[in-house]
A and B are shown apart, each in its own frame.
Chain A
Amino acid sequence: MADVFQFLSSASLEKLTGRKAENLDGLLDLIKTCPDTSIFYHTFSAYMKMREIRLPYNNDFTYWISSSLNEKALAEKIMAIDLSEYNTLTSLRMRLIEIIEEYRRRESRTFRKRADDPFYLYDIIRVVYLTDKFAYDLQSFREVLATISIYSIYLHFIECRLEKDLHIDDFSTWIEHSLHLPDLARKIKKIDLTAYTMEGLRTRIIQLIDEHARQR
């Protein structure tokens, strides 16, 4: 019998820090000195915000660099960071610093350019909590997935990569190790996060489950 999967969820409260950046130098300073939770907020948390609708940006830094500084190339380089490869905030912070400093070596003039609008640094308080939703098998998993809030999907599919220092998500882990369905787990694991809204992600996972069921 499979282990029970209890759905968790998370919510966050945004804190204003009073710190802001007016140019790329200022942004670099914020990234170097802000708490881990600010990096988390502007990357992982922002990931969900940017996926309400189909936006090309996947975090707050890229949105600001693109829209307020018009440095599209730098925005693209940061956008291309695969969050699943930088699964600690320290490594993600270092990667951000590395990309921006490399850009400074090549495009130093851009660091003096003043942004149209400041970048405001936030911090957050995260609350992770249990829901009363459980899955016992693939069918019950599909049923819950269809109605659970997107915050729960976000926690199990994106945020957990950070929490558990794994390159994989909770859903595919459970499907592989508890339901012993490695093929389906592999397909879920391979979903390109950048291609979907959060609702789109829900639909895609359900689609893969349905395809799997049809093939059996």
Chain B
Amino acid sequence: MKEPTLFDYRDVVGPGIIEELTILASYLAGRSIKMVSSTKVGGGVAEILHRIVPLLNELGIETTWDVIKRDEAFFTITKRFHNALQGYKDHFNKALLDAYMAYNEKNNAELDFDEDLIVIHDPQPLALINWHQKRNNKWVWRCHIDLSHPHSHLWRFLKPFVEKYDAAIFSSPLFSPELTIPQYRFHPTIDPLADKNKELDAAYIDSVLMHYGIPRDKPIVTQISRYDPWKDPVGVIQAFKMARKYVDCRLLLVGDKATDDPETESMLKLVRAEARDDPDIHILLFNPSKATEINAFQRASNIVMQKSLREGFALTVSEALWKRRPMIGSAAGGIPAQIIDGYTGLLVHSTEGAGLGIRWLINQPDFAQQLGENGHQRVKANFLITKHLKRYLLLLLSLDNQRKHTIFLS
């Protein structure tokens, strides 16, 4: 399928937004960006870069995307880094840290960094800056993970590299540590024209639900998330059961099919035990690549839930709000940035609260519809890929004028 162009977004966000992107980009003619990440496949970072890079090029900002080379050993090291930086306990000896540096040094030798702006994504290639302390271009570290409670020993090792950058970018103030360099906030965003979010016709939605044996005889409450304790699928079932004493509805749980992960299997056992073969509870194991079908499940839902106990940014919330779905989300991680309680969804703090939310929204469809509409507007204003593009353009402009608070372009 042909990738959408900027022109295709005009109908979604309005011509004014695209025109503004074009105007801002006109002040940056001839500038270049290089993105560096650890993978081109899988995960939110790769997903967004696959769209951002061609769109920046279309705007006249020559943008390339390089992926560092890694093997299984490096993957294991950086996976441990990733977990420890988000608060897991671990131990990192000198040999392991030296290996991390050796992989970065090897990648540095194989890559060029001639562009005006180098954006390094996440901790894996973070140390590349070590070989570019004297430079003529700007380097920015884009951190997609929660660094609010990092493993202290590991952070003492990595922080000096971070502070060699010209700036850092975080998704939320909740996730950022204290640093001596400027920090910017870039909310993660969704692509409204991606398979996961594009408009679908009603017949297709019906066919997907029929295919998976989900009747549409009563309101559908859905959570789409990994079978992971932090996503609290068991709590979702408990909330659903509390609500069903008062309102008739179905529950649809759709989760990643990461079956090689032993934690997923044990979580699934708990989920199935809690569901107890209830015919109104549908538990699907799903391959995330089936994005259009996930889109159909969201669009068929009367209520979408994200009852996480701990969360990153949770773009599944913006995905559902974009589809004008009434949303119940827990007040965790980036969810409150997307849900303004009572206006763009319901924010809850307990299983009981989630149960009440289901009852409330099913009994008040007009209110639920208004929440969905407001949520759509909020996503349109803040959490679409066009906003992301604008931030990159503004970043380039602001790095040129780092001491100015207001930049007048003429």
A interface list, Cβ under 8 A from B: 9, 11-16, 18, 20, 35-37, 49, 52-55, 67, 117, 120, 122-132, 147-152, 197
B283 to chain A, nearest CB (A): 33
Contact A130 B176, CB 8 Å, known A11-B24, A13-B184:
no
Contact among A122, A128, A150 with B407 in the assembled complex (CB-CB below 8 Å): A128
5 new A-B contacts, CB < 8 A, other than A53-B340, A126-B405, are A15-B183, A18-B178, A36-B405, A127-B406, A147-B16
CB-based nearest B residue for A10: B406
Cβ-defined contact, B394 with A16, below 8 A: no
A67 to chain B, nearest CB (A): 7
Within 8 A of A (CB), among B396-410: 397-398, 401, 404-410
B179 at the interface (CB under 8 A from A): yes
B344 at the interface (CB under 8 A from A): yes
Cβ-defined contact, B409 with A128, below 8 A: yes
Cβ-defined contact, A37 with B394, below 8 A: no
Q: How far is the CA of A51 from the CA of B405 in the complex (A)?
A: 24
Cβ-defined contact, B20 with A11, below 8 A: yes
Q: Which residues of A contact B341 (CB under 8 A)?
A: 67
Q: Which residues of B contact A12 (CB under 8 A)?
A: 394
Within 8 A of A (CB), among B332-386: 336, 340-341, 343-344, 374, 377-378, 380-382
Cβ-defined contact, B377 with A53, below 8 A: yes
Interface residues on B, range: 35 or more
CB-based nearest A residue for B173: A120
Contact A15 B182, CB 8 Å, known A125-B405, A126-B407:
yes
Q: Which residues of B contact A123 (CB under 8 A)?
A: 405
A-B residue pairs, 3 tightest by C-beta: A149-B16, A120-B173, A16-B183
Q: Which residues of B contact A124 (CB under 8 A)?
A: 405
CB-based nearest B residue for A14: B185
B356 to chain A, nearest CB (A): 18
CB-based nearest B residue for A68: B336
Cβ-defined contact, A129 with B23, below 8 A: yes
26 A-B interface contacts by CB (under 8 A): A9-B23, A11-B390, A12-B394, A13-B184, A13-B398, A14-B185, A18-B178, A49-B381, A49-B382, A52-B380, A53-B343, A67-B341, A117-B331, A117-B336, A122-B173, A123-B405, A125-B404, A125-B406, A126-B406, A127-B24, A127-B397, A128-B407, A130-B23, A131-B19, A149-B20, A197-B377
Cβ-defined contact, B406 with A128, below 8 A: yes
Cβ-defined contact, A152 with B178, below 8 A: no
Q: How far is the CA of A132 from the CA of B23 in the complex (A)?
A: 8
Q: Which residues of B contact A151 (CB under 8 A)?
A: 16, 20
A127 to chain B, nearest CB (A): 5
Q: How far is the CA of A20 from the CA of B178 in the complex (A)?
A: 12
Cβ-defined contact, A16 with B185, below 8 A: yes
Contact among B20, B176, B395 with A131 in the assembled complex (CB-CB below 8 Å): B20
Cβ-defined contact, A148 with B184, below 8 A: no
B17 at the interface (CB under 8 A from A): yes
Q: How far is the CA of A197 from the CA of B381 in the complex (A)?
A: 12
B30 at the interface (CB under 8 A from A): no
Cβ-defined contact, B183 with A13, below 8 A: no
Contact A129 B378, CB 8 Å, known A13-B184, A67-B341:
no
